[in-house]
Structure 1
């Protein structure tokens, strides 16, 4: 899996499940795609730790009006063999009517735990 094009496609595929769970309002299920000791770094906040923070943060954002999202991988690579991957990309959150609520960029560190990649560090910043 060392080819950067393959890694980019692989990370884009990994993103399908979190996007699906967010849109469905399954925040508990979404949080389970993160490592137990994950770090979440959304725009304008301190670092949030753990799955409970993931669940609450995304639930609050959804309830505030961001009903679905898109994530597009721009770059991906390996860190420490195939146990960790980094992904850099851009995102959009949308209001229920389809208008863009927030657009920005992100970096995710994926960590392999028991054979499955989970999000260990999730950083995103709005463009405005």
Structure 2
């Protein structure tokens, strides 16, 4: 009987740990991204933590009001499957939102709420991250009745903070009227992801860019003096040459790609890892081919961001 109770208790503990392992904790006060979440969960990673911000909005006469101090906190919720944020302003007008990426529509959906204007139906924005900017839209008419959108733009995103712009734009974005600006600085005591987690996330981002055939993003994942060592090919060096190499393939479309590090060793601002990569391509004739290979990567930390310096890979015959 005691043995049965022990195993039941152990099962419950393991189950609860699996349900909560990416939630906020003493070690990770802002939670962690769940590996089973869409890869886009990492779009908000640089914002995770607590920032001190200056907020500035328009007056009714279209002049800018005096700046207001505020804090802006981002954290992972729902066991690392979504992001929640909260602003606390010195004027007492607080707000927050829940951010979820829906893979079926390939978009972020953000539901906003505010202490100043409580409502039974939350307003929603939708959009994506591109070129290190997170841009979200919500349909909204101008005061004169013109169709358009309220556009939110997270930009100048870095480990040290970010800027935020809220503006009304017409439907083709040939006209814009900024109404709200926020500039945020990350608090230094905010716990960031470990170097190993950052490298694993960089590998996931590489796969994401490869599947999107975003060759500029792929090239930017390397250092400016990087060298790659493709299978049965000479050494290729530098941004433009690396971009050309990755964009030069034809006759197929990548439909699956995954990098699986087996060991990551970090020494200061350099690191190396090795492991397995695998994927699937769809040929122009409709046939599909799966593949698998092995790799070794040497990383360098440049401006607090891990980038590949040396990248060698080759296929495994099966």
TM-score (norm 2): 0.35
**In 2, Cα distance between the equivalents of 1:64 and 1:93?**
16
Q: Which consecutive segments of 4 or more residues in structure 1 shift more than 6 A?
A: none
Match for residue 126 of structure 1? Answer: 315
- CA shift digits 1:82-123 (9 cap, x unpaired): 2011010111131126530x3110001110111111110000
Q: How many residues align?
A: 119
Contact 1:104–1:125, Cα closer than 8 Å, also in 2: yes
Contact 1:76–1:85, Cα closer than 8 Å, also in 2: yes
Which residues of 2 match residues 97-116 of structure 1 at below 5 A?
A: 99-100=289-290, 102-116=291-305
Match for residue 31 of structure 1? Answer: 219
Bigger Rg, structure 1 or 2 = 2
Match for residue 263 of structure 2? Answer: 75
Contact 2:199–2:306, Cα closer than 8 Å, also in 1: no
Q: Which gives a bigger RCO, structure 1 or 2 (Cα 8 Å, sep 6+)?
A: 1
Match for residue 21 of structure 1? Answer: 209
**Tell me, which stretches of 5 or more residues in structure 1 are unaligned?**
1-5
- Which among 243, 248, 252 is matched to residue 60 of structure 1? 248
**In 2, Cα distance between the equivalents of 1:83 and 1:64?**
39
The answer on 1:42 being equivalent to 2:230 is yes
Deviation at 1:66, TM superposition (A): 5.1
The CA RMSD over aligned residues, in Å, is: 1.9
TM-score (norm 1): 0.82
**Tell me, which stretches of 5 or more residues in structure 2 are unaligned?**
1-193
**In 2, Cα distance between the equivalents of 1:23 and 1:92?**
12
- CA shift digits 1:2-36 (9 cap, x unpaired): xxxx7655432221111111111110111011001
Give the structure with the larger helix fraction. 1
